[in-house]
Chains A and B, each alone.
Chain A
Amino acid sequence: MAALMWMLGSVIVAFIPLLFLIGYVVNKGYAVIVRNFPHFWNDALPTVTTEAGGGMRPAIMGTLLMTGTAAAMAIPLGIMAAIYLNEYGKNQRLARALRFFALVMSGVPSIVMGLFIFTIYTVNSGFSGFGGAMALGCLMLPLVIRTSEEMLKLVPNELRQASLALGCPQWRTVLTVILPAAAPGVISGAMLAVARAAGETAPLLFTIGLVYRTNFDLFNGPNTALPSQIYANATAGPFPAPQERAWGAALTLILIVMLFSIAGRIVAARFSKIRQS
């Protein structure tokens, strides 16, 4: 009886903040976005934070561009690393060490990644979207390695043996047989990593600076992102305009994060359908 009460109590206690949080963000954010639709998503940022008006377009674009670039760097790298671990390294000492350090790397705080990119890149090249993308990529890499390796592990060994028995070299076996078989899981895992990176603020603090208009050039000039805007507006003081803007940006960010996770699931489902037919 005591055990059951503890379990049920825990579930309830965990759901209370979830309800409050989602309720607040949806309620406040929805009001802001709808009242200023479509300007909230389509206008440039106001240059004075305490004034009303303006929109989040530069931040939305910045988030999409930087997370996209981060994904384009980290996902191929991570998948290749996972291929090394599962198809070549297996239980060798080097592979075991790599696996261990990939896990440890996934526990390195995001702020440390931001400081790292600041010291090797931003110090010399100045604020830019690319710096932010590299910091986000460093965060995504260990997550992609781990989920991809789990998925490659699930591919039955018979597939490898059949392909090799037909005379296919191992690299073609990996690229044309094993990767497609593992694709659904690999993609949804990668999408989770993307969603996680899209919500990160700390790595961007040191690398991207601030800008009021959309900057499509990732290599030149500062950039901005939704998490950075939420942080800046929420800490701007007791003024209604920035607070409202922060709620609207928060709901927008949550929608984008959800979109990434749903997209991952749809792509995964698509792939497994193709495989079955």
Chain B
Amino acid sequence: MQSIPEVRQLTGNGTRNWGDRAFRSVALACGLAVFVILGLIAFTSTNKAWPAFSHEGLGFVTTNRWVPNENHFGALALIYGTAMSAVLALLLSVPVSFGIALFVTEFASPKVAKLVTSLIDLLAAVPSVVYGLWATLALAPNVQGLYKALHSATASIPVLNSLFGGQSQGYSLMTASIVLAIMITPIITSLSREALATVPESDKAGALALGATQWEAIRVAVFPKARGGLTAAVLLGLGRAMGETIAVAMVIGSSAQITLHIFSPAATMAGTVASQWGEASGIHQAALVGLGVVLFIFTIAINSSARFIVARSDRKLAS
């Protein structure tokens, strides 16, 4: 076959005339805006939060007393609340998201798959404050009874009685996690759908031909091949859950404590920034910006590793 010249060969690498050079530079400058913004976020926020960081030192992330009017800013309980609510949300959301993704890629007819996909995408289009509103006024008051019932039913069972112990409140870690789970389901579903779609049809056919049931074929042929993409989907869902602010602030009960009781109130970093910002000034405000910095570092780390995993598994599939 005759080879077709690359665009770059035809244009002499885009440096043929001043118009091209100018246009290329403008486009490059726009691209560099991403670096500039990310760099500025890291620099200016850290700068603004410095009074709180230097006041607390490492204690900002390792101690657990967050009492603004006594100038104590130890964010450990908030970090715990952030991690705990996000992990609980993942536990609720991942099985459902993988199930939907499998249904859409492996089972449903194209028409049904399209319908299900667009309905799930509808969940992603709902603004987070609307989730918060619904959860505050409709969900939290109604789940309290269920929490209380679970609490008294498990009072004598060893592990469960500490998990379901403490106060049983509608405005609690669990309610926040339920809302988070609903909010991250669309993104985990669509990313894991993409991952599952990359598994070659022949792999599944091979497993089925060897006498595997559909379930076994999914387990031995589909999941291992898509592992990278699925891991990334979960990580990106985790990042999204940790950064979610408004809906969580509205239902988590805003009480900075490290507790195993999932029906008790807690607090997250993002939620605390939102709910304390109005009355904050001076070093308190710096501390809240500091929470933003910690959150920024966490989410950047999680997102980078997710993208890295995707890139690596793409390379593996390509070779």
For A228, the closest partner residue in chain B by CB is B129
Contacting residue for B30 out of A13, A77, A171, CB 8 A: A77
Interface size for A (C-beta < 8 A) is: 88
Distance (Å) between the CB of A201 and the closest chain B CB? Answer: 4
For window 93-142 of B, CB contacts with A under 8 Å fall at 95-100, 102-103, 106-107, 116, 119-120, 122-123, 125-134, 136-138
What is the bound-complex CA distance between A17 and B218, given in angstroms? 28
Distance (Å) between the CB of A154 and the closest chain B CB? Answer: 15
Instruction: Tell yes or no: A119 within 8 A of B by CB.
Output: yes
Given the known interface contacts A112-B41, A164-B11, A200-B127, the answer about A84 and B31 at a Cβ–Cβ threshold of 8 Å is: yes
Q: Are B107 and A7 in contact (CB under 8 A)?
A: yes
Q: Which one of A34-42, A49-57, A180-188, A252-260 contacts B?
A: A252-260
Q: Are B11 and A115 in contact (CB under 8 A)?
A: no
Q: Are B127 and A81 in contact (CB under 8 A)?
A: no
Instruction: Tell yes or no: B304 within 8 A of A by CB.
Output: yes
Q: Please, what's the 1-or-0 string for B1-29, where 1 marks a CB less than 8 Å from any CB in chain A? A: 00011010011001011011011101110
What is the bound-complex CA distance between A207 and B37, given in angstroms? 17
Q: Are A170 and B11 in contact (CB under 8 A)?
A: yes
For A251, the closest partner residue in chain B by CB is B130
Q: Are B34 and A142 in contact (CB under 8 A)?
A: yes
Q: Secondary structure at chain A's binding surface: helix, strand, loop or mixed?
A: helix
Given the known interface contacts A119-B44, A201-B245, A202-B270, the answer about A258 and B125 at a Cβ–Cβ threshold of 8 Å is: yes
Which B residues are in CB contact (< 8 Å) with A83? 27
Which B residues are in CB contact (< 8 Å) with A202? 128, 245-246, 270, 274
Q: Are B128 and A81 in contact (CB under 8 A)?
A: no
What is the bound-complex CA distance between A235 and B254, given in angstroms? 13
Which A residues are in CB contact (< 8 Å) with B14? 88, 170
What is the bound-complex CA distance between A115 and B272, given in angstroms? 13
What is the bound-complex CA distance between A160 and B9, given in angstroms? 12
How many CB-defined contacts (below 8 Å) exist between A and B?
263
What is the bound-complex CA distance between A113 and B26, given in angstroms? 24
Which B residues are in CB contact (< 8 Å) with A250? 129-130, 133
Distance (Å) between the CB of B46 and the closest chain A CB? Answer: 10
Distance (Å) between the CB of B177 and the closest chain A CB? Answer: 13
Given the known interface contacts A6-B99, A98-B35, the answer about A80 and B19 at a Cβ–Cβ threshold of 8 Å is: no
Q: Are A108 and B41 in contact (CB under 8 A)?
A: yes
For window 6-61 of A, CB contacts with B under 8 Å fall at 6-11, 13-15, 17-18, 20-22, 24-25
For window 157-175 of A, CB contacts with B under 8 Å fall at 157, 160-161, 164-165, 169-172, 174
Instruction: Tell yes or no: A62 within 8 A of B by CB.
Output: no
Q: Are B127 and A21 in contact (CB under 8 A)?
A: no
10 nearest CB pairs, A to B: A109-B243, A199-B127, A10-B99, A171-B23, A84-B27, A7-B103, A80-B30, A107-B303, A3-B215, A81-B31
State the A residues within 8 Å of B (CB). Answer: 1-4, 6-11, 13-15, 17-18, 20-22, 24-25, 76-78, 80-81, 83-85, 87-89, 95, 98, 100-105, 107-113, 115-116, 118-120, 123, 138, 141-142, 145, 157, 160-161, 164-165, 169-172, 174, 195, 198-202, 205-206, 227, 230-231, 234-235, 243, 246-247, 250, 253-254, 257-258, 261
Known: A18-B119, A81-B30. 14 other contacts (CB 8 A): A20-B134, A21-B130, A103-B303, A105-B34, A109-B245, A111-B292, A112-B292, A112-B295, A115-B273, A157-B4, A169-B11, A199-B125, A199-B129, A202-B246
